[in-house]
Amino acid sequence: MDCIFCKIIEGSIPSTKVYETETVLAFKDIQPAAPVHTLIIPKKHIPTMNDVTAEDGPVIAELFEAAREIAKQEGIDEAGYRLINNVNSDGGQVVYHLHIHLLGGEKLGALLP
Q: Would you please indicate which residues are annotated as catalytic (active-site) residues?
A: 99
99 binds Zn ion (CB under 5 A): no
CA distances from 50 to 85, 102, 111 (A): 11, 20, 22
Q: Are residues 47 and 80 in contact, defined by beta-carbon separation less than 8 angstroms?
A: no
Report the partner that residue 53 touches, choosing among Zn ion, ligand 5GP, none (CB closer than 5 to 8 A by kind).
Answer: none
Q: Considering only residues 33 through 52, tell me which ones interact with Zn ion, judged by CB under 5 A.
A: 45
60 binds Zn ion (CB under 5 A): no
Sheet holding 100-104, edge to edge: 17-20, 24-28, 36-42, 100-104, 81-84
Euclidean distance between CA atoms 91 and 111, whole angstroms:
13
User: Binding residues for ligand 5GP, per CB under 6 A?
Assistant: 4, 13, 15, 27-31, 39, 86, 92-95
Report the partner that residue 6 touches, choosing among Zn ion, ligand 5GP, none (CB closer than 5 to 8 A by kind).
Answer: Zn ion
97 binds Zn ion (CB under 5 A): yes
Q: Which residues pair with 17 in a beta bridge?
A: 27
| Interacting residue ranges for Zn ion, rule: CB under 5 A | 3, 5-6, 45, 97
